[in-house]
Amino acid sequence: MPKYKNEFDRPHHIEQTILKRGGGIVGVIRIKPSSILWKPLGEHQYYCVGLDDFAKWITSPRVGADRTKS
């Protein structure tokens, strides 16, 4: 496995299944030290974006992401 610029202590990635409010699965998100992966329901492969690219995208004024209150 290549050496990452960032790393988690343990585990090496975090994976969560995203559920719809009324039930059912939307997809799976996997967070790694250097990338974020997304797999919609029914797909067999993940979409991947580097953490640096994600940070640029989410903080762009065009996206309209709100800061958390806490």
- Does the pTM surpass 0.75? The reply is no
**Helix/strand/coil (H, E, C) string of the chain?**
CCCCCCCCCCCCCEEEEEECCCCCEEEEEEECCCEEEEEECCCCCCEEEEHHHHHHHHCCCCCCCCCCCC
Q: What is the per-residue pLDDT across 3-55, written as a single tens digit (0 to 9) for each?
A: 778 776 777 889 999 999 998 999 999 999 899 999 999 999 999 999 999 99
pLDDT value at 2 more than 70: no
